[in-house]
Structure 1
Amino acid sequence: MAISSKSKVAILWRGDRPARDAARAESSRLSSIFEALAHCGIGAEPAVWSEDLTDEVRNQLLAMDGVLVWVDPISTATGARRNALDGLLRDVARAGVFVSTHPDIAAKMGVKAVLHRTRDLDWGSDVALYEDEPSFRAAFPARLATGIRVLKRNRGNGGIGVWKVEGLDGATVRVKEARSGGAPHVVPLDTFMAERQADFEGGEPLVDQAFQPRHLEGMVRCYVAGDRVAGFGHQFVRALAGPEDGPSSPRLYSAADDPRFQRLRALMESDWIPAMAKRLAIPPDTLPVIWDADFLLGPKTPEGDDSYVLCEINVSSVFPIPAEAPDALAETTRLRLAARAARKAGA
């Protein structure tokens, strides 16, 4: 069924009143998304949101067929969370508006706990989940004794709440925070664990993943539109490395047919994405129209191929993206809207 030429979506990002008043598709950092949607016959308009604009934005979204969302879980500028936005998105979704990424899907995919829930898939690694501070205090020292660990808050972005922790003598640890940009520092283990108390506020867990020794060989970001790979990004990441390892490199983007990553593409499309969706009880047609999975290199396979270790999935504010990805995003959006229109017409 063809999508109506009158179908419209809003593209939503965080901003204040002046930013909302000044927002234009052609001058937005997401201009390539607006253009790709237009090529698919979908009208799109900006929807700049902040907590004090919620009612106004709600009225705007209720007049749309869909809304595509670019808002981080935690603002790197202010630390603000998006609880009010998630409530708004659930409201408009219940009213029949297509939302991507829906907050309920983000709560399953776009959190660090996905590493624990999918740890037995081929992309998995040694991962523990601490539901509360007592379980963390009871189990973390023993896990730390087995080797370097990476602790991760369940929700975050931009390296917020990610620590590389190396045990020194059983009583002290060397800690490097991913977002700090500074050198590692040494603190008593008890002090470090006490500082984590706040991370459990609101019932959120902490995720504990074994440090990957090949991290200096580069990270591959796999961009996905729905259940199809839309491109790749490759970067040498130094966020958890020492100063002697030099700075991180810019991420270099490439299309889905990049020959370096065809094995990863095949694994994602034929195995890992379907397995993840099944494990997390996510219907494939509700997967985000754009999301990404970050992989570090794991041990070589017996055949000499690289293995891949999942270290994060991002669903909330995936941008920038490869030049080919906006078209994949737009086509996925078109298909989702057409399917919803067909269901509505047949109801």
Structure 2
Amino acid sequence: MKKNIVIFESEGGSDKIFNGHRKDTMPILEAIKEKGWGCEVVYFRDEWADDIFDYAKDKFDGYISRINPGSLATGEKVYFETLRRLSDAGLVGMSHPDAMSNFGAKDALVKLAETDLVPDDTYAYYTVEEFTKTFPKSISYGERVLKQNRGSTGEGIWRVQIEESVDYKAGDSLPLDTKLKCTEAVDNHVEYNTLGDFMKFCEQYIVGENGMLVDMRFMPRIKEGEIRILLIGDKPVFV
């Protein structure tokens, strides 16, 4: 056993603080060192993948992934392939890329739509055609939230409201020149767009690897905060 752990991070991004790391990365590193293990942070780039693999497989017992989905400009494909190679080489993955993909995908909300946890009018758009056909109708039922599949910092998560009085009823497909008020969760900044322009803007979240948009009803109590439950198997261990 080498008694060394590597922490992978991405360069830049809104999840970093003044030292270039996520807020809790250095406390994690220091806590590992207090246990008598070595630990270091390595920034990941696609072009460094082979060098990082060769370096990490010979020096570390495990890795901790601290790269938010969407933080790598080139996507997660090469990064996840590298993590799989390291896992196959014997490193303990925290977490394995398959687990990150399965638990992190926003379409889990759609899979839960028939339970009491998620409203039944929750949809996933995997193609631009689905989105442009369905969203003009779903927004007619009231405020909606669109969530991109990548990331967990609030980037690409939009609260969408009809800005002006329009003569319509629930279930109508609204015209593309309908004025919208759009608020992004990452910093609560507001943009005003037409429905057509906003949908065109949102196409970027659908195209590409693992691209997708979730469309769900706005839940007003989100302003009160979130409840996060950690489970081991099916047993809650922390709320």
Shorter-chain TM band: 0.7 to 0.9
Task: Tell whether the 8 Å contact from 2:125 to 2:213 is kept in structure 1 after alignment.
Answer: yes
For residues 1-347 of structure 1, what are the structure 2 equivalents within 5 Å?
A: 6-15=2-11, 30-37=25-32, 43-51=37-45, 52-63=47-58, 64-75=60-71, 79=73, 81-126=75-120, 127-167=122-162, 168=164, 169=166, 170-171=174-175, 172=178, 173-179=180-186, 181-185=188-192, 187-202=193-208, 204-222=211-229, 224=230, 226-227=232-233, 256=238, 265=239
d(CA) in 2 for partners of 1:118 and 1:34?
Answer: 36
d(CA) in 2 for partners of 1:215 and 1:55?
Answer: 43
Q: 1:30 to 1:135 in 2, by over 3 A?
A: closer
Given residue 145 of structure 2, which amino acid in structure 1 is its aligned partner?
V
Cα displacement (A) at 1:184: 4.3
Q: 1:44 to 1:88 in 2, by over 3 A?
A: same
More helix by share: 1
Cα displacement (A) at 1:88: 0.8
d(CA) in 2 for partners of 1:184 and 1:59?
Answer: 46
Cα displacement (A) at 1:48: 0.7
Given residue 156 of structure 1, which amino acid in structure 2 is its aligned partner?
G
Task: Tell whether the 8 Å contact from 1:12 to 1:49 is kept in structure 2 after alignment.
Answer: yes
Task: Tell whether the 8 Å contact from 2:32 to 2:39 is kept in structure 1 after alignment.
Answer: no
Q: Which has the higher contact order (CA 8 A, sep 6+)?
A: 1
Cα displacement (A) at 1:155: 0.9
What TM-score results when the alignment is normalised by the length of structure 2? Answer: 0.75
Given residue 213 of structure 2, which amino acid in structure 1 is its aligned partner?
L
Q: Which residue in the other structure is 2:170 paired with? A: none
Q: Identify unmatched segments of 5+ residues in structure 2.
A: 13-18, 167-173
Q: Which runs of 4+ in 1 moved over 4 A?
A: 38-41, 225-230
Q: 1:216 to 1:49 in 2, by over 3 A?
A: closer
What TM-score results when the alignment is normalised by the length of structure 1? Answer: 0.54
d(CA) in 2 for partners of 1:225 and 1:9?
Answer: 24
Cα displacement (A) at 1:124: 2.0
Cα displacement (A) at 1:149: 0.6
- Report how many residues are paired: 213
Deviations 1:165-199 (A, max 9, x none): 123423312222223543342x2212222222222
Structure 1 vs Structure 2: percent identity of aligned residues?
26
Q: Identify unmatched segments of 5+ residues in structure 1.
A: 17-22, 231-255, 257-264, 266-347
Deviations 1:11-65 (A, max 9, x none): 222349xxxxxx9xxxx95343234445666x23214123143233212321222
d(CA) in 1 for partners of 2:136 and 2:57?
Answer: 50
Given residue 40 of structure 2, which amino acid in structure 1 is its aligned partner?
P
d(CA) in 2 for partners of 1:54 and 1:176?
Answer: 36
Task: Tell whether the 8 Å contact from 1:11 to 1:44 is kept in structure 2 after alignment.
Answer: no
Q: 1:86 to 1:175 in 2, by over 3 A?
A: same
Task: Tell whether the 8 Å contact from 2:25 to 2:66 is kept in structure 1 after alignment.
Answer: no
- 3-state secondary structure, aligned to 1:68: strand
Deviations 1:262-294 (A, max 9, x none): xxx4xxxxxxxxxxxxxxxxxxxxxxxxxxxxx
Deviations 1:69-97 (A, max 9, x none): 1112223xx85533322121111112222
Given residue 202 of structure 1, which amino acid in structure 2 is its aligned partner?
G
Given residue 148 of structure 1, which amino acid in structure 2 is its aligned partner?
E
